[in-house]
Amino acid sequence: MGDALISRDEAAVYRDRAYHGNARRPGFKECGVKDRIMHRHTEHMPVLPPWLKARNPLISRHRAPVESVFNAMKRIYG
């Protein structure tokens, strides 16, 4: 469902580590959309490079205000 929300005319796409797959990333650069999907370690990359470890908290700062809204809605409405 989340992939259907990306129309590729956004300035950037922010997502957490659950959506880190490379299948979601192609085409962002060609459309001028900034890839702000967080990275996580995988079997192919068991340890993240330092620049990726530093990048994830920067992305989290932008995602946090939005996540708090969804958290409140889930808490209030179940």
| Encoded tokens for 4 | 């259907």
pLDDT at 1: 42
Domain-wise residue ranges, the chain: 2-77
Encode the chain (78 residues) as per-residue pLDDT tens digits.
456 666 767 777 777 666 666 666 666 777 787 877 787 777 777 888 898 889 888 888 888 888 888 889 999 997
- 71's CB contacts (< 8 A; 6+ apart) are none
Q: What secondary structure does DSSP assign to 14-39, as a single string?
A: EE-GGG--GGGSTTHHHHT-EEEE--
- 2's CB contacts (< 8 A; 6+ apart) are 15, 19
